[in-house]
């Protein structure tokens, strides 16, 4: 068979950014957690032989990062299927296998090689995008155990990861979870993971990114209910990455300008307003379930 399964590719947008799209699922990914082999995948998760992409895609990926930086593109945006940052989720997964080994956490050598490429070639302004987890996660991009990192200021980070929620797939902690319980879960997660600056479990939704030469902004939106057809959406949190800073821009202590609507923000406040934009009519209202 030829190479028709290849979907990994890259797009150059002038000198503003390069979009690198990975296939971390189908192309040449080593065995993942299929639920009955979790102990085994945990055991081998740090093996150098492990790859999410296969050697061919991996070398292309690292070359693309280097070339992008060399040609002077301001930002490198890396689209991939699964969460890149370490995520201790032992609250849900148990202490024995605390990480989700279906994410980059199960392929740590691949992640280390990526970090090594970024550091050795002094590649800046890296933005990772992810999905898969049915929840929202915003993190500084940190090579834990290799470089010092200050969770408060963000120094020691080499970029940012924005991971988005789901459109309709339920919350990983249960589809009928209350907002309070979801926020408690988020607070646990941001406390357990130094690099994780904001996390939300409750909302289905999406995020928008706008990219400029000076800064890159990400706006997260949540849909108050997916059970009825309506145009409602709630602004959840807004993040800024300044060019050259390689971390979430800190304002008033946290990674957002003021407060977040839902979830948990490290060193910041969550204030629930339920202020909802009805995109069908353009009106604003306070949503009540």
Partner 1 sequence: MLSISVTTFTSMEMGNTVGEIPSIEFPCLTDRSTRKSRLCRLWLNVEHCNFNYFSGSMTTASALLHIEQMRISWRVTRISLGFLSGMITVFNLFLRILNRIANFHSEVSDNTYRDGASELNNTEASFIKDGGISVDQRKMNAVRAYFEWSR
Note the residues at the interface with partner 1 (CB under 8 A). Answer: 1, 4-5, 25-35, 54, 102
Which CB, 27 or 206, lies closer to partner 1? 27
State the minimum distance, in angstroms, from the CB of residue 166 to partner 1. Answer: 13
Which residues, including other chains, have CB under 8 Å from residue 137's CB and lie 6 or more apart? 83, 85, 87, 130, 161, 163, 196, 198, 199
Compute, in degrees rounded to 10, the torsion defined by CA atoms 167, 171, 177, 183: -100
Residue among 54 and 155 whose Cβ is closer to partner 1: 54
Which is nearer to partner 1, 4 or 288 (by Cβ)?
4
- Shortest Å distance, C-beta 132 to partner 1: 9
Shortest distance (Å) from residue 138 CB to partner 1: 24
- Secondary structure (3-state) at 150: coil
CB of 31 to partner 1, least distance (A): 6
Residue (82 or 248) nearer to partner 1, CB: 82
In 57-186, DSSP assigns E strands to 75-79, 126-130, 136-140, 159-163
Instruction: Identify which of residues 21 and 181 has a Cβ nearer to partner 1 in the complex.
Output: 21
Sign, Cα dihedral of 186, 188, 191, 195: negative
What is the smallest separation between the CB atom of 21 and partner 1, expressed in angstroms? 17
**Residue labelled with tokens 């997260």:** 220
């Amino acid at each position: 068979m030829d190479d028709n399964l290849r979907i990994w590719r890259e797009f150059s947008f002038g000198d503003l950014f390069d979009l690198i799209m990975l296939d971390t699922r189908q192309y040449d990914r080593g065995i993942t957690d299929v639920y009955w082999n979790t102990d085994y995948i945990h055991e081998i998760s740090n093996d150098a032989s492990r790859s999410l992409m296969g050697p061919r895609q991996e070398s292309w990926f690292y070359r693309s990062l280097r070339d992008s930086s060399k040609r002077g593109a301001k930002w490198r945006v890396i689209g991939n299927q699964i969460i890149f940052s370490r995520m201790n989720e032992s609250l849900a997964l148990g202490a024995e296998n605390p990480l989700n080994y279906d994410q980059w956490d199960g392929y740590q050598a691949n992640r280390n090689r990526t970090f090594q490429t970024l550091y050795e070639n002094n590649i800046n302004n890296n933005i990772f995008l992810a999905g898969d987890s049915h929840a929202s996660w915003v993190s500084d991009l940190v090579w834990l155990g290799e470089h010092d990192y200050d969770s408060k200021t963000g120094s020691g980070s080499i970029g940012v990861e924005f991971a988005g929620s789901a459109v309709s797939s339920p919350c990983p902690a249960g589809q009928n979870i209350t907002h309070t319980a979801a926020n408690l879960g988020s607070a646990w997660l941001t406390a357990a993971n130094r690099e994780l600056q904001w996390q939300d479990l409750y909302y289905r939704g999406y995020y928008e990114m706008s990219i400029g030469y000076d800064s890159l902004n990400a706006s997260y939106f949540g849909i108050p209910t997916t059970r009825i057809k309506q145009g409602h959406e709630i602004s959840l949190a807004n993040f800024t990455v300044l060019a050259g800073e390689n971390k979430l821009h800190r304002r008033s202590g946290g990674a957002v300008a003021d407060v977040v609507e839902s979830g948990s923000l490290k060193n910041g406040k969550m204030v629930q307003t339920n202020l909802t934009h009805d995109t069908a009519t353009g009106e604003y209202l306070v949503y009540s379930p």
